[in-house]
Structure 1
């Protein structure tokens, strides 16, 4: 069946219809749902045109064919249900803002044919707090919370409890509980934000349903995590030294930014990242502790000052015989410390 942008269509396997807004490919189009104004991708074979883009309505024979096709789908619905069961959360920057500098809005997206009854909690530090609860209609999304940059750095977990409801005859779906571990460093990477079908701008999307790799990574025990880190260190030892250590005259530059030390931060918490950075700091100090006169610049960045403070604390506690000072402001700003080995 030929379907064009602007055609008014009806869903064969569901109630309602909408306007075709985009041709995705030869078999799929995007439909703006009449009921909730939510755009959803739909197979052409599951749609029938009831009014063309120019306002011309389908003829009587086409209407009969529509009714016949609709009846056929309803008869087969009990044995061949066509139903999406995808639920997402999305961290969306404000439109027009640089994603890495914008406050982020947290949305719950219901891309199913069921009503969701949900509860949302977040965790900052050691405190889990209930933020909001309610219900969400099928094929729609709702704003749950908004976080400024300071709150994003403190956010460690988002927890969701979800019940599924569908009026009339329906199978009973098990409730969903999902704990999403948040890695704040991702919010500051442009590559974390992807184009998607739910928003006009790029967002950071997490799937709550299914068994994707993010869920499995979050379930790693501390023992497994440490094993993973040690294996990663062994594999990338030479590469890490080449990428994070640069000789400049008689000064050794050590970049402690996590992206210079490891390829991916997936599955790492803030504490894990800090531990990894400090391990690199101690490795370099041990390697050069007997090289008198050696000058080492540790590039820790400014950020929220946590890494800088930890590096200075360790220098005072374990390496107090060596001389430390702020590195050249002209070259590093306030984001580096120079140590002279004595």
Structure 2
């Protein structure tokens, strides 16, 4: 009975490892790819052996040839397996080298990325610090500019205030000077007026004494009596021949008839029309009153005539006709003042 010998020839299985580069996420682990699925077993090679009693020489030759074929196939398969193992070893070394190379590349990329991140961080920090420093510098410059502007405004205000104070002081000084000059002018005018008034009074006093002396001479008094009267000394009493009425003789150039009529004074015209005889004693204060009233009337009359002359010329100006002084004999009756000074009592 022939036996059947079956030999199954299956190709050598290889494990292939695929390396992948690490992603940017550092938390992800590097893993090898799963092995490829095992290929389906090849169809076995079946060798049919016959019973040894039935074979011939041709069968032996055929058997030997088949054995040689199998041997060659086995040798070829052995060499193939050797080469496959060698290729597998070379692939693993290359894979490890690739892994090392990729690890180095990863480390290099990480270092480069870290350096880039540090550079960017440093640049951002430097830029932020520069920006902050610039802002601080701008703020300092603004504060300095504001302070300088405030100082300038204060200086301008101070200069303006000093200028105003100086102008006010100059104005006050000028007003004080003008006031002092006005006071000095007033004092000078007052002094001139008082001097002129004093001179006028002196002249009036001299004129009064001169007229009084003339009147006293006309009254028939001697020089001693006249000197005593002018010096306001006591005049010796003259012997009274008898009781006679006391009259006061006054010049018409100093006394107006209107004044006598105003005060209701009884009077007569003297033999000399330039004089008036008042039929009583007239004291000095009353004489001054008569003279002031006469002066007032005459000034008023002259001003009234002047105004009427300016307003209209219809009417002729009024004139006061006076009698020309003629040479007459001196009145024998002395004046009232002289009689009083001589010691006569008023009526």
Bigger RCO (CA 8 Å, 6+ sep): 2
Q: Which has the higher helix share?
A: 2
Larger Rg: 2
Give 1 or 2: higher strand fraction.
Answer: 1
TM-score by length of 2: 0.18
TM-score by length of 1: 0.18
